[in-house]
Amino acid sequence: MNRREFVRKAALVSAVGPFIRTSHRIQRYRVGLIGSGWWGMNILRTAISTGTTDTVALCDVDDAHLQPAADEIELITGKRPAIYRDYEELFSEQNCDIAIIATPDHWHALPTIAAINAGAHVYLEKPVSHTIDEGKAILRAARLQDRIVQVGTHRRVSPHNISAREFIKTGKVGDIGMVRAFVHYGGNRGEFTPDSVTPEGLDWDRWIGPAPYRPFNPSIHPRGFRQYLDFANGQLGDWGIHWLDQILWMMDEEPFPHTITSTGGRHIREDSTDAPDTQVATFAFEKYTATWEHRLYGANNSEKSSIGCYFYGTRGVLHLGWLDGWTFYPGNSRDSTIHEKASLDQPDSQNIRALWDDFIHSIESSSMPACDIESGHRATNMCLAAMIALKVNRTIHWDRDQDTVLGDPAAQTLMRRPYRVPWAYPSL
Ligand SMILES: NC(=O)c1ccc[n+]([C@@H]2O[C@H](COP(=O)([O-])OP(=O)(O)OC[C@H]3O[C@@H](n4cnc5c(N)ncnc54)[C@H](O)[C@@H]3O)[C@@H](O)[C@H]2O)c1
């Protein structure tokens, strides 16, 4: 731990002290879920299964998600949570100890900051923000209010990822000069989906929130927002953050690259989305070079793996995957490969349970969580900086002390964006 980290940790520990003293008496935490869609309900179900929660409220702008979610929680727990359309109202009426934020990416910053300011600790889904300055504002609010913010980058608590990190840290891969991360999905050009009438029970204006308004399109909601740049950041912001976070975590001597370049575009897909279907990004660190690649077509068995990271070292190559665990290919071909299977939980073969347990442990022991907001912010920034480099179509340089693009006013402008009235961009 360097001095900066130590000071920050000490500040957090002393700040959460008063809360911790009372928290030992709290057996169950009053939880509010914002965004009761696919992943939000995965987290909440897992949290309930640990016996640490009392689900007091749910908030969603779509009745088709909110009502079934409330029904299900009532069935599981015997108690119907209060339901809301407006998270501000929820936080002002419910005294939540914990908020889970699982809204689409463009709706992460405002509810997270509102939750923190209402005194809640937050389990925030990745990516932490849609633009870089939103992430800074979340980090600032968390530190100012001394709240713990755990980000959903659960690969940091996943057993095979932890053992891969140990393998790397003990020098078994040697000196690593290059890391390549990639996700290749999909097979064809996709299909165009026309806009349509907003379904009854969905407050589309509120779903759009601070983003530029556009008519409802069923390929955006639910879940499809990932490939629309007004609401998310394509494959980099969805899958990229997991693997770029793993790179920062495994190679933790350098917290951020000094130079970022990216090329790509929409070369193949003809659907209604606008995120790049092809993208390559390069991140230059002092001691190694990292790359990201994705394509949303042409994924098949021609490559050994379509997802993960390769760490290239002087003693061999380690492939860190998801369902396929990790495999080390030694430089000396007479030596045997070493393989470790993945150890994953349900639902969806991820490790929400371990991340939730770590979150509760962090609250109760006044220690930093495994996926603290600062690391989530950095991993998110890897994606967002690459998106800025792609948009301005040139290499950008990063001021690692000021946590900002160096020079280049046009690129700096893209670190935030105008919000639609009446929403206000969070202050830094
Ligand atoms: N960590 C992981 O592995 C992982 C996996 C899946 C999804 N996620 C993240 O979870 C988030 C949600 O993704 P999803 O797939 O569940 O999407 P989803 O569309 O299924 O759910 C999002 C929900 O948020 C609701 N919503 C939108 N605006 C809202 C607002 N202002 N207030 C309250 N509710 C609002 C929507 O109506 C919807 O029900 C995303 O940020 C995604 O990146 C993380």
Per-residue pLDDT reduced to its tens digit, 217-232: 999 999 999 999 999 9
101 and 179 belong to one structural domain: no
Q: How far is the CA of 239 from the centre of ligand 1 (A)?
A: 14
229 plus 321 within the same structural domain: yes
Report yes or no: 401 and 378 within 8 Å, Cβ to Cβ. no
The span from the CA of 296 to the CA of 276, in Å, is 9
The half-sphere exposure of 248 on its side-chain side, counting CA atoms within 13 A, is 24
Enter the pTM of the model. 0.94
Q: Do 383 and 363 have their domain in common?
A: no
62 lines ligand 1 (CB under 6 A): yes
The confidence band for 301, taking pLDDT boundaries of 50, 70 and 90, is confident
Q: How many A from CA of 412 to the centre of ligand 1? A: 28
Whether 270 maps to a domain, the answer reads yes
* 38-79 residue pLDDT tens: 999 999 999 999 999 999 999 999 999 999 999 999 999 999
Cα 105 to ligand 1 centre (Å): 7
Q: Which pLDDT does position 169 carry in this prediction?
A: 97
pLDDT of residue 302: 83
236 inside domain: yes
Q: What is the DSSP annotation of 333-355?
A: TTSPPEEE----BTTTTB-HHHH
Q: What percent of the chain has pLDDT over 90?
A: 88
Confidence category of residue 427, pLDDT binned at 50, 70, 90: very high
One domain for residues 111 and 181: no
Same structural domain, 44 and 96:
yes
- What 3-state DSSP class applies to 110? helix
Q: Does residue 257 sit within a domain?
A: yes
pLDDT at 291 over 70: yes
Q: Quick check: 25 pLDDT over 90?
A: no
**Does residue 33 belong to any structural domain of this protein?**
yes
Q: Is the CB of 341 under 6 A from ligand 1?
A: no
pLDDT(14) > 80: no
Q: Is the CB of 128 under 6 A from ligand 1?
A: no
Residue 419 lies in a domain: no
User: 125 in ligand 1 pocket by Cβ < 6 Å?
Assistant: yes
The tens digit of pLDDT for each residue in 255-264 reads: 999 999 999 9
Torsional sign, CA 338, 379, 158, 11: positive
Closest residue to atom 25 of ligand 1, CA basis: 35
Range of the domain at 173: 159-343+379-413
Phi and psi at residue 209, in whole multiples of 5°? 50, -125
Same domain (yes/no): 125, 217: no
CA 178 to chain centre: 24
Residue 346: pLDDT band (50, 70, 90) is: confident
> For the chain, what's the residue count?
428
CB of 166 within 8 A of CB of 348? no
Tell whether 394 and 406 lie within a shared domain.
yes
- 3-state class (DSSP) for residue 174: coil
- Residue 69: which of 98, 100, 93 has the closest Cα? 100
- pLDDT by residue (tens digit) across 311-320? 999 999 999 9
Q: What are the C-alpha distances in Å from 307 to residues 9, 26, 241, 375?
A: 34, 41, 13, 22
pLDDT at res. 186: 84
Q: Is residue 423 part of a domain?
A: no
Mean pLDDT over each residue of the chain, to the nearest integer: 93
The structure tokens listed for 330 are: 């030694």
Both 178 and 80 in one domain: the answer is: no
Is 151 in the same domain as 249? no
pLDDT for position 39: 98
Burial 25-46 (b: 16+ CB within 10 A, else e): eeeebbbbbbbbbebbbbbbbb
For residue 118, the domain's CATH number is 3.40.50.720
Pocket test for ligand 1, best of 44, 60, 371 (most atoms within 8 A of CB): 60
* Cα–Cα distance measured from residue 305 to residue 296, given in angstroms and rounded to the nearest whole number: 15
- Do 151 and 192 lie in one domain? The reply is no
Same domain, 339 and 364: no
Residues 99, 65: Cα–Cα separation, whole Å? 18
User: What is the per-residue pLDDT for 27?
Assistant: 61
Are 171 and 188 in the same domain? yes
Share of residues in the chain with pLDDT > 70 (%):
94
What type of residue sits at position 264?
G
**Residue 26 reports pLDDT greater than 80:** no
**Beta bridge partners of residue 329, listed in sequence order:** 317
pLDDT at 166: 98
* Any domain includes 213: yes
Per-residue b or e along 172-210, where b marks 16 or more CB atoms closer than 10 Å to that residue's CB: ebbebeebbbbbbbbeeebeeeeeeebeeebebeebbbb
Question: Is the pLDDT confidence value at 324 over 80?
Answer: yes
Domain-embedded: residue 206: yes
**pLDDT of res. 386:** 98
For 201-216, write each residue's pLDDT tens digit. 999 999 999 999 999 9
Average pLDDT over residues 115-134: 98
Q: Are 288 and 178 in contact (CB under 8 A)?
A: yes
Taking the centre of ligand 1 as the mean of its atom positions, its distance from the CA of residue 280, in whole angstroms, is: 26
In the chain, the number of structural domains is 2
How close is the Cα of 120 to the center of ligand 1, in Å?
19
pLDDT digits (tens, 9 = 90+) for 157-171: 999 999 999 999 999
Is pLDDT of 23 > 50? no
Q: Which atom of ligand 1 is nearest to the CA of 154?
A: 1
User: What spacing in Å lies between the alpha carbon of 261 and ligand 1's midpoint?
Assistant: 29
Residue 268, exposed/middle/buried by CB under 10 A (0-12, 13-18, 19+)? Answer: middle
Nearest CA to ligand 1 atom 5: 39
State yes or no: pLDDT of 363 exceeds 80.
yes
40: nearest Cα among 120, 152, 115, 147: 152
Q: Which CATH number do you get for residue 224?
A: 3.30.360.10
pLDDT, tens only, 368-408: 999 999 999 999 999 999 999 999 999 999 999 999 999 99
